[in-house]
A and B are shown apart, each in its own frame.
Chain A
């Protein structure tokens, strides 16, 4: 059955099961209807991303609305060391405003930091960036998407001149000849995505998965390449080397639509097959087979996800995969090319509208005078008052409370105590702050440390837009009223802006904020100016860029040309250098981190949902039985995993689906199972992405001596 990409207006309004909206979690943004009493979720058939499918996270999303420890009143600490106690909204907002004023008077405007999230709607992300720039006038804003999409974004901008996750509608996937997924486990992270891959395979397309673990996704692949963590770049270069020597280049495409190939040819001459085999551990015949499958019909897609991107060389790693795609002539074809699998719900839109340290709305650069002038005009301010670029996420968090760093932090939609790398260090920095305010709907591990906590509305209680992994702008619609005492982030920002006597408009109506966002993004790379709420509902979403209301949107932005000055894609030579922290005699095992199906990000939401906790109650360390035996670790026993930055104690899970030299720990949990206590914050020089995906650890059985109960 063919599924229409369009949604009839009446279908939207009268959807069975309640208000049509989208899932609160990942970037697939599965369509669901929310309604009834008690509130239930029903999957929508009319959204191409999921076509009636949902994973357990989606099915249980309604339970988020009624978690027992939902915050419904602001909380405040009277003084350092005092407990968090309920207070009024005025008390809370007055306190935040007075701390801002006090600290900025003493330390300057950059004394206040702002940290946002990739789960915020476009409207909130836009308003938060504006709040930082013209209400606080601080340069110190960044967001957790830096830990998510930034390497792919930097590589895409460098190669194609435009950072949009997928190169076409998700329905193109089923028609691909081959899809190679580097460092992604979609069967667990966005299960309904697998339906598109399954359909492709049923039509004869091949699925190739690159992952150090034989994941649920890898098990369903036609070919699984299992490299040493931290060696994806060498693998991609090696595959390009093979593409050259096997005569599989698309010379016409290289000549006609790209530039810079000769420099890449010289670079990959140094990646002959057996050298790459030695670096990666991937057998040469498998590399050759992967290249042949990709070149077989040319309508092939190379996708990267966090496994390839979350490295200190993440940008270059993604570039290596883009080089391969370009050399094979894949981009620009329907169903082919290179794409990045966006992670967070609004990971795409969240990186376009100004919560990034170096960016203004519409994906504009903050140091570009024309961009500043355009945005200042929309905001009704002098361009001079807009600050310049600030610190990137980890650097911002790392500078908190330091002499030259922010003294206060306002945090929205993020839980860095669990999700940031080397999170023990992040806790120290949060403790060094004079003031921390957190907006959240539960008391997350980070909110617990705040001086003021603001209870905010959540997904089904608010409206706005999100941009999914396709680059399709979608409507999130309010299905239920927020509990009494809760405000939306737009209301919070308006309340603070008023107290700070900020210039600009501070509407609390998402539709009005979106109108302003449209104007601010007009003419930028991520141009939303032609998108309206009505169009989104009528057309089932609109692909950006969409520069005018009569423009159809851009499902396939690279079909005709790339968005570089000369319209050609750029080859960029890149070199392998390996993990920032290699294994040695003291830390002899690689650690890689990732996700499990039942949980999302820091787990602040999913660890509160009964069925998800039942499915996945606790963190664990996955390792090969041989590795476990050598370190005296028993299946199901507690194991201590130690890096140069910390120790976690988790249950051992012995599997033969992981390399002998690697341990895997999912990062959704807090306390002593917090994987990010171990991870290495070595940063990518371009994207400032930390190296979440590989560091060196040692593994020991945890001796429970009975006394510490």
Chain B
């Protein structure tokens, strides 16, 4: 009996397999993974690079899970061809597997700029950063290196740079655009980020284009020695990390005759527009003209597809996702989402911002029709939880805009001095004793807090109002002692 065949066991594919099995314990499930190890969490690669996690500690699925759950896991086996006519996939081990539904989750591969020095494979010490293997190679290279150059000042490049700096290397980030992370940040935030990274020993070379990788012979091959910029300047380096973006891995789909733009074009049920028995999720798919490069939408797609295929929610649809970027780099707190480039020129758009570049803080929210359409929190992210939820839900915003930027500026009603409380105010909540009752008790002769508490029962519950009772009693004493006037 043919069932569901999943090609790709990365973040999207492995998530789909577990989500599917949660909903349907019977349907035959086969998953092909080109890498032999258990699927791992790519989000945690920055932890591995930073030395916070070991490479064997970032798994997403227990290796024994597959057998226990009746999933045919073909790890280390690559699918080489899809025969849509026969509904079969052909694998590198010579097997042919029939499918009823094919799920393509091949993800993406690192883009290596075609420049001298990369055309015949990368020299030792140069790594295109994408996978756990890449991560391990970078760490090996970093072990005996002093100077590193990271090509690409996007999210991944900065995380790599931070990891290398944390390992004691002298790091330079070479970036084509005028400021770092230009897809997520406005120029102001990019400048503050560069300054923050500078304090951590990371230099940024902006508007700089790499024209070649320099290398020196080593044994049979070559070892990287630096990068050459368009200006002709050469930055010497013992390790070079290429973080120049990714490209959806669509070779298999294209060869199978499926419509491919940047990714495999799918509808809101994640079906290939060419063949409804083929689905695509994660970074190899394209919906509404967008290829989603983050994990959250891939996991959302995995859940929706599992709901559709298991029949647990036949109305589930993917209608696009809101992307929230969070930099994972020690000592650099950064959250960014949506349209962050607006200034104050558009009368329909409300921009609230705060900058303290010297302390590495930059905060900005962009509001339209009382909804959050973009935000940056850099340096201090105390309101990130609130902002991400408001952005995710397109929820109306609090009237107090300041609370979007700073946690705790509203709501923390500073409790007034008990002395200035009105008589009706409750002092002891556990026993519902008002200030007026305490005053009356004092006027009837109870002149110590103990006596007042014994008679009114104030502070006999949780005890937290004891100080307030003492304050009121001593204030009453002072009032009595003071000359009237």
Interface residues of A (CB under 8 A from B): 43, 52-56, 59, 186-188, 191-195, 198, 214, 216, 220, 228, 244-247, 262-263, 265-266, 269-270, 272-275, 277-278, 280-286, 597-598, 611, 614-615, 624-626, 629-630, 656-657, 660-661
Q: Which of A192, A270, A624 neighbours the largest number of chain B CB atoms within 10 Å of its CB? A: A270
Known: A56-B461, A187-B464, A198-B464. A274 touches B326 (CB 8 A): yes
Closest Cβ–Cβ distance, residue A668 to chain B (whole Å): 15
Q: Are B60 and A55 in contact (CB under 8 A)?
A: no
Q: Name the contact of A277 in the complex, choosing from B61, B385, B399, B400 (C-beta under 8 A).
A: B385
Q: Would you list the 8 A-B pairs with minimal beta carbon distance, nearest first?
A: A194-B462, A191-B461, A274-B326, A191-B462, A615-B432, A191-B430, A281-B385, A55-B461
Residue of B nearest to A577 (CB): B22
Which of A192, A629, A656 sits near B461, CB closer than 8 Å?
A192
Which residues in A have their C-beta under 8 angstroms from that of B384?
274, 277, 283-284
B462 touches A626 (CB 8 A): no
User: Which of B's residues lie within 8 Å of A, judged by CB?
Assistant: 40-41, 43-44, 47, 52-53, 57-62, 295-296, 324, 326, 328, 333, 335, 381-386, 388-389, 392-393, 395-396, 398-400, 407, 410-411, 413, 429-432, 457, 460-464
Q: Please determine whether B461 and A283 come into contact, CB atoms closer than 8 angstroms.
A: no
Name the distance in Å between B333's Cβ and chain A's nearest Cβ.
7
User: In the complex, A281 Cα to B60 Cα: how many Å?
Assistant: 24
Query: Which residues of chain B are near A611, meaning CB under 8 Å?
Result: 432
Q: List 15 A-B contacts (CB under 8 A).
A: A54-B460, A56-B430, A59-B457, A187-B430, A188-B429, A198-B462, A266-B59, A274-B328, A275-B43, A277-B385, A278-B324, A278-B392, A281-B385, A624-B398, A656-B410
**Partner of A269 from B44, B381, B389, B463 at Cβ < 8 Å:** B44
A59 to B455, CA, bound (A): 12
Given A194-B463, A283-B384 in contact, is the A272-B62 Cβ separation under 8 Å?
no
In the complex formed, the residue of B with least CB distance to A226 is: B385
Contact of B59 with A269 in the complex, beta carbons under 8 Å? yes
Please tell me if the beta carbons of A283 and B382 are within 8 angstroms of each other in the complex: yes
Smallest CB–CB gap between B62 and chain A, Å?
A: 5
A272 touches B396 (CB 8 A): no
Query: Which among A55, A220, A624 has the highest number of chain B CB atoms within 10 Å?
Result: A55
Find chain A residues with CB under 8 A from B463 CB: 53, 192, 194-195, 198
Q: State whether B429 touches A216 (Cβ < 8 A).
A: yes
CB-CB under 8 A from A614, the residues of chain B are 432
Which residues of chain B have C-beta atoms less than 8 A from A656's C-beta? 410-411, 413
Which partner residue on chain A sits nearest B395 by CB separation?
A661
Q: Assuming the A-B contacts A245-B53, A269-B59, A278-B389, are A43 and B460 also in contact, with contact meaning beta carbons closer than 8 angstroms in the complex?
A: yes
Residues of chain B lying within 8 A (CB to CB) of residue A266: 59-62
* Cα distance A597–B385 in the bound complex, in angstroms: 30
For B396, give the chain A residue with the smallest CB separation.
A630
Residue pair A598, B432 in contact (C-beta under 8 Å): yes
Q: Which residues of B contact A626 (CB under 8 A)?
A: 396, 398-400
List, in ascending order, chain A residues with CB within 8 A of B335's CB.
274
Query: Which among B53, B60, B388, B457 is the interface contact of A244 at CB below 8 angstroms?
Result: B53
B460 touches A59 (CB 8 A): yes
- Contacts A53-B463, A220-B464; is A278 near B47 (CB within 8 Å)? no
Least CB distance from A620 to B in Å reads 15
Q: A269-B57, A281-B389 are in contact. List 10 more A-B contacts (CB 8 A).
A: A54-B457, A55-B431, A59-B431, A59-B460, A214-B411, A269-B40, A272-B44, A277-B326, A281-B386, A611-B432
CB neighbours (8 Å) of A274 from chain B are: 324, 326, 328, 335, 384, 388
* B43, B389, B410, most chain A CB atoms within 10 A: B389
Least distance between B385 CB and chain A CB atoms (Å): 4
Residue of B nearest to A625 (CB): B399
B41, B57, B464: residue with the most chain A Cβ atoms closer than 10 Å:
B464
A82 to B208 alpha-carbon distance, docked (Å): 91
B385 in contact with A53 (CB, 8 Å): no
Most buried by A among B324, B388, B461: B461
Quote the shortest CB–CB distance from B53 to chain A (angstroms). 6
Contacts of A277 in B (CB 8 A): 326, 384-385, 388
Q: In the complex, what distance in Å separates the CA atom of A280 from the CA atom of B386?
A: 9
The reply to whether A283 and B462 contact each other, CB–CB distance below 8 Å, is no
The answer for the CA separation of A263 and B65 in the assembled complex, in Å, is 10
Residues of A within 8 A of B333 (CB): 284-285
Q: Determine whether the beta carbon of A275 is less than 8 Å from that of B385.
A: no
| Beta-carbon nearest neighbor of B41 in chain A | A269
Question: Given A53-B463, A269-B58 in contact, is the A247-B52 Cβ separation under 8 Å?
Answer: yes
Q: In whole angstroms, what is the CA distance A269 to B60 when docked?
A: 6
- Looking at the assembled complex, report how far the CB atom of B317 sits from the nearest CB atom of chain A, in whole angstroms: 14
Minimum Cβ distance to chain A for residue B466 (Å): 9
Given A187-B464, A269-B41, A56 contacting B431 (CB threshold 8 A): yes
Q: How far is the CA of A611 from the CA of B324 in the complex (A)?
A: 52
CB distance from A217 to the nearest CB of B (A): 9
B contact residues around A244 at 8 Å (CB): 53, 57
Give the Cβ gap from B294 to chain A, nearest Cβ, in Å: 10
Given A54-B461, A59-B431, A285-B381, A228 and B326 contact (CB-CB distance below 8 Å): no
CB within 8 A of B429: which of A245, A269, A281, A597?
A597
In the complex, A174→B77 CA distance in Å? 58
With A194-B462, A269-B60 as given contacts, are A629 and B53 in contact (CB-CB < 8 Å)? no
A192-B461, A630-B396, A660-B398 given as contacts; is B385 within 8 A of A280 (CB)? yes
Q: Which of A191, A262, A283, A598 contacts B407 (CB 8 A)?
A: A283
**Do A282 and B52 touch across chains, with their CB atoms under 8 A apart?**
no
Residues of A within 8 A of B385 (CB): 277-278, 280-284
A283 touches B383 (CB 8 A): yes
Question: B467 CB to closest chain A CB, in angstroms?
Answer: 11
- The CA-CA distance from A278 to B392 in the complex, in Å, is 8
Which residues of A sit under 8 angstroms from B396, Cβ to Cβ?
626, 630
* Contact (A272, B411) CB under 8 Å given A53-B460, A597-B429: no
Q: Which residues of chain A are near B383, meaning CB under 8 Å?
A: 283
**CB closest residue in chain A, given B47:** A245
Q: Bound state CA distance, A228 and B43, in angstroms?
A: 24
Looking at A54, A624, A629, which has the most chain B CB atoms within 10 Å of its CB? Answer: A54
Q: Cα distance A273–B44 when bound, in Å? A: 10
A611 vs B432: C-alpha distance when bound (angstroms):
9
Interface centre among B326, B393, B463 (most CB of A within 10 A): B463
A195 near B462: Cβ-Cβ < 8 Å: yes
- Complex interface: chain A residues within 8 A of B461 (CB): 53-56, 191-192, 194
Given A272-B41, A274-B335: A283 and B381 interface contact (C-beta under 8 Å):
yes
A228: nearest chain-B partner, CB-CB: B389
Q: How far is the CA of A191 from the CA of B466 in the complex (A)?
A: 13
Task: Evaluate contact between B296 and A275: CB separation under 8 angstroms.
Answer: yes
Nearest A residue to B22, CB-CB = A575
| Residue of A with least CB distance to B43 | A272
Q: Which residues of B contact A286 (CB under 8 A)?
A: 382
**Among B398, B413, B429: residue with most chain A CB under 10 A:** B429
Separation of A216 and B428 alpha carbons in the complex (Å): 11
The reply to whether B411 and A657 form a contact with Cβ atoms under 8 Å apart is yes
Shortest Cβ distance from B462 into A: residue:
A194
Residues of chain B within 8 A (CB-CB) of A597 are 429-430
Would you give the shortest CB distance from A254 to chain B, in whole angstroms?
13
A220 to B431 alpha-carbon distance, docked (Å): 18
Measured CA separation A269–B53 after assembly (Å): 11
Assuming A216-B429, A245-B52, is B407 touching A192 (CB within 8 A)?
no
Residues of B within 8 A of A53 (CB): 460-463
Interchain nearest-CB distance for B80 vs A (Å): 30
Question: What chain B residues lie within 8 Å of A54 (beta carbons)?
Answer: 457, 460-461
Which A residues are CB-close (under 8 A) to B381? 283-285
Contact A56 B432 (CB under 8 A): yes
In whole Å, how far is B67's beta carbon from the nearest beta carbon of chain A?
14
Across-interface contacts of B62 in A (CB, < 8 A): 262-263, 266
How far apart are the CA atoms of A615 and B461 in the complex, in Å? 15
| Residues of A with C-beta under 8 A to B407 | 283
Q: Give chain B residues whose Cβ lies under 8 Å from the Cβ of A630.
A: 396
